[in-house]
Structure formats: C-alpha cells, structure tokens
Structure 1
Amino acid sequence: MEKTTMGWAMRSTAVAAGAVAVFTGVTAVPAGAAEGGVSFSRVTVNSGKPIVIGTTKEVVVPASFRMTTKLKYDYGPTVFPYRGKPDSGDTLHSSVITSDCQVVDKAKGVCDFEEWLYIDPRYSDFGNAYAGTWKTAARVFLAGDAYDTDDKNLPLQVKRATTVTVNASPEPVAAGKTITVTGRVERANWDTHTYQGYGGRTVSLQFKASGASSYTTVKKTTSSSTGSLKTTVKATKPGTWRWTYYGNSTSGAKSSTGDYVAVK
C-alpha cells in the first residue's frame, strides 16, 4: 500500500492511494462521468468514536469498508469526511492510505479494505470552524477518468482536544482537615494553533481511594473565565484526586492525571 499526500484537502476532491482493481470491467465508462456500478457497505470510521484533534500532532484515523464492483478502477477506493456535497464540498484529510483489496468474493467483485486518514492541524487553513458534525462518503476513481461516489450519510464528530491539570494539597494531610484541589481546563484553538483556557465548563472532581479500582465523582465545579478550577473537600482517607471534563459537541472529553494525597 502507498501513502499519497494531497496537501490540505478541505475544498478539493480527493485521490486516494491504493492498488489497481483485480476484477475485469464489464462496461465502458465515459471519461469524467459518475458511474453507478459500484456499491460500498460496512463503512466504519474511527470505530464510530469522535475524532479528537489537538494543535500540533497529526492524527491518524482508522477506517474500513467493503466495495462491490466488477469495473476496473485506477485510484482508491477511499472513504472520507465531508461537508456540503460529497463531490464539491469540504473534505477533511491531508493524506490517505488505503490497503490492497482483501478478496471476499472474486466472482462478484467483492473486496474488503482498511484505510488510514491523516489529519494535520498544523495547516494554516485548519480552523475552529471545522469542529462539529461531518458526514461520510465513499469514492473510487474508475478507468477512463470516471468515478463513483456514494453518500453513506454516516455522521462523524470532529472535536477540539482538551487538556486538564490537577493539584491537591496539602500533602500529606491530617484526617478531617481540608484539601484544596486546583487545576485548569484548556481547549485547542485551531485558529491560533495553541491551547487556551476554557471557561464556563462543568468539570467533575473525582476520587479513587487507595486499593480501589475506579474513580467516583465527589462534586462538580465550573471553570473560571480563564479555565481555572478550584474547590475544597474534607480528607477522610488516602487516595488519588483528579478532574474530569466530559466534553461537548465540539470539544473532546479528558481526565487529568491523578494526584495522590496521603491522609494521616
């Protein structure tokens, strides 16, 4: 398989990498025409989970699908996120890798494919407006400059990454005394390619007692205009404290690391 770099493909039709067809075409297709002799099924992108993107790291999004056709094809196939119309709207990837055909039924022209979408937030035109709901389409470029595009109408959430920090003090603390837990929640700003304080967010303070296997929410608080978090609790037993933000339609969920406090 081969990786094809396409620059930033926010407003251009995509040509994905992949092997040539293993099946013999049965009809001629006019150059540039959209052909209907291809079907796509079993489409999944990122296992149905939101795509969460930060400010500096390229994100690799796994996908898989099945294609059925007996037409020859030159490029692809591929599935991709889009807004507007599949063939003329925005697409969301900087490059794509598509696996070779995994033959399911050669007589019927059925292949399974794996795919990896690369999304790089460092491109200058990658901005906050791209957070939210996208749809999913599938496309293959056929012999003779034709192509087939199927709108799978599969919703896909694209979210700005968040970060959360925590500090619990004093450490250690006497039983029954007050612990002050502070922290900060920030969100990726794709316009400036930095993280900024995320104000007005409801964030859960969670505790995991020594020997326990999971965290329990103790209370909730709202971040300040700069994203700062602060609250107090009574020390009853030793354990680990953390903040958890559960995200929203445009922002990813995130938990801080844990801060252990010994209680004497």
Structure 2
Amino acid sequence: MNRALSRAMWRAALAGGVVAVFTSVTAVPAGAAEGGVAFSRVSVNGGKPIVVGVKEEVEVHATFRMTTTLKYDSGPMVFPYRGKLSNMDTMHSMIIGSDCKVVDRAKGICDFEEWLYIDPRFVDFGNEDAGTWRTAARVFLPHDGLDVDDKNLPLQLKRATRVTVNASPEPVAKGRTITVTGRVTRANWDTHTYQGYAGRTVSLQFKAAGASSYTTVKKSTSSRTGGLKTTVKATVPGTWRWTYYGNSTSGAKSSAGDYVAVR
C-alpha cells in the first residue's frame, strides 16, 4: 500500500471534476451475506473528537482487528456512520487501509491500520453534521456479499474553533491595568468561513515568566460577534492567552500566547 500514491490519485480525480460526497447513502445489496466476520480492538482517532475546519483536509488514524476465514473482495474498513446499517449516512471522502498484519493465519486473525480523510470543501457536508456519530466496520465478500457491524463506539465530529488574543499595553508598569482582548470564532461548514461565536464562556489564562503551565485567572463571555475583553492588574511578567474548552459540537482551542513585560 502506498498512501502518498493513493492520495495523489484522489487529488487527480478531484482536479478532473470528480465530486467527492461525504454523506452518502449505502444500502446493503440484495443477497448480501451477514456473519462469518468479527471485528474487534477498534480505535478511531485515539478516542479523541474529530475536529474539522472549513478548508483543511483532516486525516483520522484508526486501527482494528478482523477475524475471518472467509475470502473477501476488498479491504476491510471502519468509518463514522449515522442511521441504520442497512441504509446509512457515512462521513469520509477517502479511506486508505493497510494490508493484513497476520496475527494467527489458521484462525484468520489480522490487524489493520487505516487512514480516513475528511475534507469539508465538498458537497453534502454541513453544520448539521456536527455531533455524535457511530462507528461501523465493513468488509465486502464475493458475490455481492458483505459483513457490516456496529461497533458500539461513539465518535464526536466537531466544528473547529479559533481564538485570538492581544494584551496591552506592552510593557506595563507594575500595578497598572492590562486590557486583554480577543475573539472566538467557529467553523461554518455551510459557508466555509469562520464566524464569531457568541455567548461562549472563555477562560483567560496566565503563565508567569519561567513557569511551565498556564493558570486560569478569570472567565469572560464572548459578545454577539465573538469578541472578548477584560482587564487584570499587572503583577509579574508573563504570557496571557484565551482558552475555549469546546462543547458537544465545537472543538476546544487556545489562542497563541501574548507576552507582557512588567517593569
């Protein structure tokens, strides 16, 4: 398997006008055979939410084990889905899978590695797709058969957030007031832009010069345009940032740090 070659072929298809469809309906073909295949040890994105922006393709790593003595036509895969296994919506633009890493040849046990790609720039991908998905495992068998299973593994698909920060004045006299501003925005998959995220509770954090970690100083609620603003007293030099911890449909994000010298 050559991942680079597979992705290059995919991009060539897109350049040639082939449209990628994320949310597609997959029906079980007539005469499909169920059973005879078991999937286990399924892990998708290390159990972390899948966070997608507006333009950047996201690569999701997955691993799983398949046990079967049946022959199969095309490589097994795992992927997010909604609906029923017999008529599902799926969430991926491309999947590249590894060859079988044999665990027990006699019992037909193989371990697989997979790279699933989600690109938000194409059709049938909108804000309504954020939230909880389930995980399906599937392999195609000869004569239009397949085995598809629900692995009872929820996946969180979230809209990416961005956070900015500016602390001023720089430098500042000890005991004087520092004004910290910023903005929190969220990916809009319908318009392919980032828009102000109103009403969000965002933490203002500080890391003193020489310290290794940030501490939350206070919290602020974003305005209707996503704006953030608060004031603090200057005590020691250090770095300020805003952190948004996300929710069920939006990813967590911290701004870059803004260092303020205190004299």
TM-score (norm 1): 0.91
* Corresponding residue number in structure 1 for 2:225: 226
- Cα offset, 1:87, TM superposition: 3.1
Q: 2:22–2:124: 8 Å Cα contact kept in structure 1?
A: no
Residue 180 and residue 106 in structure 1: after superposition, are their counterparts in 2 closer, same or farther (change >3 A)? same
* Corresponding residue number in structure 1 for 2:101: 102
Instruction: Kindly indicate whether residue 177 of structure 2 is the aligned counterpart of residue 164 of structure 1.
Output: no
Instruction: Kindly indicate whether residue 160 of structure 2 is the aligned counterpart of residue 147 of structure 1.
Output: no
Does the residue aligned with 1:47 lie in a helix, a strand or coil?
Answer: helix
**1:7 paired residue among 1, 16, 20:** 20
- Cα offset, 1:89, TM superposition: 1.6
Paired residue total? 249
- Cα offset, 1:117, TM superposition: 0.6
- Cα offset, 1:13, TM superposition: 2.8
Aligned mates of 2:169, 2:20 — CA distance in 1? 51
In the alignment, residue 68 of structure 1 is paired with which amino acid? T
Aligned mates of 2:172, 2:22 — CA distance in 1? 55
> Where does 1:130-145 land on structure 2 (aligned, <5 Å)?
130-145=129-144
In the alignment, residue 202 of structure 1 is paired with which amino acid? T
- Cα offset, 1:11, TM superposition: 1.8
* Corresponding residue number in structure 2 for 1:196: 195
TM-score (norm 2): 0.92
Aligned mates of 2:46, 2:212 — CA distance in 1? 26
The sequence identity of aligned pairs, in percent, is 77
Q: 2:20–2:123: 8 Å Cα contact kept in structure 1?
A: no
Q: 1:102–1:112: 8 Å Cα contact kept in structure 2?
A: yes
Does the residue aligned with 1:73 lie in a helix, a strand or coil?
Answer: coil
Q: 2:42–2:65: 8 Å Cα contact kept in structure 1?
A: yes
TM-superposition CA deviations, 1:62-93 (whole Å, max 9, x none): 00000000000011200010001123121000
* Corresponding residue number in structure 2 for 1:182: 181
RMSD: 1.6
Aligned mates of 1:202, 1:212 — CA distance in 2? 25
* Corresponding residue number in structure 1 for 2:73: 74
- Cα offset, 1:35, TM superposition: 2.5
In the alignment, residue 76 of structure 2 is paired with which amino acid? P
Aligned mates of 1:84, 1:172 — CA distance in 2? 56
Higher share of residues assigned helix: 2
- Cα offset, 1:31, TM superposition: 7.4
Does the residue aligned with 1:84 lie in a helix, a strand or coil?
Answer: strand
Instruction: Kindly indicate whether residue 234 of structure 2 is the aligned counterpart of residue 260 of structure 1.
Output: no
* Corresponding residue number in structure 1 for 2:51: 52
Aligned mates of 2:163, 2:114 — CA distance in 1? 31
TM-superposition CA deviations, 1:111-131 (whole Å, max 9, x none): 000001110100132100000
In the alignment, residue 25 of structure 2 is paired with which amino acid? S
Q: 1:96–1:117: 8 Å Cα contact kept in structure 2?
A: yes
In the alignment, residue 173 of structure 1 is paired with which amino acid? V
Aligned mates of 2:136, 2:68 — CA distance in 1? 17
Structure 2: tracts of 5 or more residues without a match: 11-18
Structure 1: tracts of 5 or more residues without a match: 15-29
Q: 2:64–2:112: 8 Å Cα contact kept in structure 1?
A: yes
Aligned mates of 1:31, 1:129 — CA distance in 2? 31
Does the residue aligned with 1:72 lie in a helix, a strand or coil?
Answer: coil
* Corresponding residue number in structure 2 for 1:85: 84
TM-superposition CA deviations, 1:196-244 (whole Å, max 9, x none): 0000000000000000000000000000000000000000000000000
In the alignment, residue 191 of structure 2 is paired with which amino acid? T
- Cα offset, 1:143, TM superposition: 1.6
Aligned mates of 1:128, 1:165 — CA distance in 2? 23
Aligned mates of 1:43, 1:33 — CA distance in 2? 23
